[in-house]
Amino acid sequence: MPTILVAEDEPAISQVLKVYLVKAGFHVIQAYSGTEAIEKFHANSPSLVLLDVMMPGKDGWAVLKEIRAESACPVIMLTALNDVNYRLDGLDGGADDYIAKPFIADEMIARVRAVLRRSDDGKPAETAHTYGNLTIDFKAHRITLFDNEVAFTPRDLSLFLFLAAAPNRTFTREQLLDEVWGHDYDGSDRAVDLSVKRIRKVLAKWPSTEGEIKTLRGLGYQFVVEE
pLDDT tens-digit map of 16-26: 999 999 999 99
As for how many domains the chain has, the answer is 2
Residues 112 and 186 in one domain: no
**Pair (162, 78) in one structural domain:** no
CATH of the domain at 198: 1.10.10.10
211 and 165 inside one domain: yes
SS3 content of the chain, % helix, strand, coil (to 5): 40, 20, 35
Residues 27 and 81 in one domain: yes
Domain boundary among 63, 87, 120: 120
Q: Are residues 183 and 143 in the same domain?
A: yes
Which of the residues in the chain have pLDDT under 70?
Answer: 81-93, 120-127, 139, 183-184, 186, 208-210, 227
Is the CB of residue 44 less than 8 Å from the CB of residue 29? yes
The pLDDT of residue 125 is 42
**pLDDT at residue number 127:** 67
Specify the CATH number for the domain of residue 101.
Answer: 3.40.50.2300
Cα dist from 64 to 84, 101, 165, whole Å: 18, 18, 29
In this prediction, residue 124 carries a pLDDT of: 43
For 78, other C-beta atoms within 10 Å of its C-beta total: 25
**SS3 label, residue 26:** coil
> 101 and 158 share a domain?
no
